[in-house]
Every structure is written in C-alpha cells, then in structure tokens.
C-alpha cells in the first residue's frame, strides 16, 4: 500500500490514499478518506501545521479587521466562518480514498493558506501528517488481515 499526498497542478485540492493491491478495498478507502477529513479539521483547530508547529500569527491588520467586523469569525487562525473546512469532501472507490476541497473559491483560499502568498505566511494545513500515515497503514493492515 502506498500513502501519498497529491497536489494537482499548483492547487492543494486533493489528499489521496491509493492501494496497489488486488483486493476490493472499497470499505478501507472510505474509512481512510473519512479519517483524513477529520484529521485535517482537527489539525486546523489545534492551531498547528502538518509538522506540528504553531501556525504563523495573524497580522495586526487582519486581527483588527476581525475585531471590527460584525461577524467576528473564530478565534482559530484558519477559521472565520468555517466554510473552507465545511467544503472538505471525502470520496472513495475500490482504488483510492480522497479528500477534496469542494468548491473553487475554497480551493483558492486553501491553496493560499497552505502555500502562502506574497502577503500571507505559509500555514500548511492540508495534507497527511506522519501520525496519519501510521494510522492509515494500520487500518490497511487490519483490512488486509480481514480479507486474507
């Protein structure tokens, strides 16, 4: 089994687990996709990037804009109304499980946060953490033992 983080073009839009085996791994891929979706959300709410480092703080301008806004948003750095995280969609089939950012506007926002821009620091949030790989590989081993 191979676990990979797939970046399509320059957009971080899909996180994928692919299996190269000969079994019908549909259930495993579905569970892995749902696990990845949860893990991404938990990572954002923890305030830490994929390497476990705290996200770069908000700029003073952004902090002031959040305070002055009628909709103050969330105290979490990458969460305002939660639209980007709500748009994460798990999907799967017999060959792979994946999590995609479901709409174009959130793909653009997600990419900007994940890779940074000229005016925004990088806050890598969309991907597979080392701990996730271990969990998913354990799930694959369990699935394979059940099939064998």
pLDDT in tens, 122-142: 999 998 888 888 898 888 887
What local confidence, expressed as pLDDT, does residue 4 receive?
47
Based on the number of CB atoms within 10 Å of its own CB, is 18 exposed (0-12), middle (13-18) or buried (19 or more)?
middle
Backbone angles phi, psi at 72, to 5 degrees: -70, -15
DSSP, collapsed to helix, strand or coil, labels residue 3 as strand
Q: Give the span between the Cα atoms of 74 and 4, in whole angstroms.
A: 31
Residues 52-100 have pLDDT tens digits of: 999 998 888 877 776 665 555 566 778 877 888 999 999 988 888 889 8
pLDDT value for 22: 55
* pLDDT for the residue 138: 87
What is the pLDDT, as a whole number, of residue 139?
86
Residue 81 CB neighbours (<10 A):
10
Structure confidence by residue, pLDDT tens digits, 4-52: 444 444 444 455 555 545 566 788 889 999 999 999 999 999 999 999 9
Gap between the Cα atoms of 148 and 138, Å rounded: 15
- CA gap 9, 36 in Å, rounded: 21
């Amino acid at each position: 089994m191979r676990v990979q983080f797939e970046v399509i073009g320059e957009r971080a839009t899909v996180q994928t687990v692919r299996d190269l085996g000969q079994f019908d791994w549909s259930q495993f891929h579905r569970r892995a996709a749902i696990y990845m979706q949860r893990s991404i959300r938990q990572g954002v709410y923890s305030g830490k990037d994929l390497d476990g480092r705290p996200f770069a703080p908000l700029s003073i301008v952004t902090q002031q804009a959040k305070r002055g806004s009628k909709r103050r948003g969330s105290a979490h750095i990458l969460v305002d109304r939660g639209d980007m995280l709500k748009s994460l969609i798990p999907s799967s089939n017999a060959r792979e499980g994946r999590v995609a950012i479901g709409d174009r506007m959130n793909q653009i926002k997600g990419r900007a946060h994940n890779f940074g821009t000229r005016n925004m620091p990088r806050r890598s949030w969309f991907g597979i953490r080392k701990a996730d790989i271990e969990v998913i590989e354990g799930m694959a081993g369990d699935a394979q033992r059940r099939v064998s």
